[in-house]
A and B are shown apart, each in its own frame.
Chain A
Amino acid sequence: MIKLLLALLLSLALFPALAVEPSEMLDDPVLEARARVISKQLRCVVCQNQSIDESNADLARDMRVLVRNRLLAGESNQQVLDYMVSRYGDFVLLNPPFKMSTYALWFGPGVIVALGIFAVAAFFRTKSDSGQAADGPPILVALNHEEQQRLDKIMENDQA
């Protein structure tokens, strides 16, 4: 049973690597490793939510081959990525770059969290100021001195 489970896990672990066919791979292991790093950052433009490293679409395969040919021609990783961006735009990068047009993307979630914290803080502040929420039901707070005396009196009468 454990063997079967392990085999299953192992086969799942193999899937992401399957798209790169042995015939595509470069002989130089250093260049091949760089090609894998670059391929993981490039979007398959046909399937859109896979990298070209994972996708077995024809175009993804051709892009992987192109990446490798450019590395063989002596280009740096950044030059290869720049070429792809010059053809397909920032869209081809799975990690959107940090620049003016993507500020909303990068800062948006933080701004929304900050607004949320501010709203929650404001909500609790109005609550503690008036002893009740602005327009909700009364909130239970500790009894003041007068109320405590009244309660004590009631309790005494009850026991008597």
Chain B
Amino acid sequence: MTTMTVAGVDVDVNDEGFFEHPEQWTEAMAPELARHEGIDELTAEHRKVIDFMRKEYFEKGTGPTVRVLGKKSGVSVKELYQLFPKGPAKVAAKIAGIPKPRGCI
């Protein structure tokens, strides 16, 4: 575990950069976290996915897979990959301050 400063606040992250404590995340951190992932501008669509990731995580204890995102977030699989080319579930989880989803699908 290491400490990283995001938007002026110290947060705990794992070796891959995922938040250890999702409650340390604030919305103000999202743009900076996104830039780390190569996303220069967070659009409303990005935010829709990020909000859904957090909602699912707090409801179910784990972030959603891409399939679940495509079915329930209101953003299609095709669009998800346009928004997060490096892997929607993985990258959105990192920006949303939740652990990496572990589903295989």
Are A and B physically bound partners? no
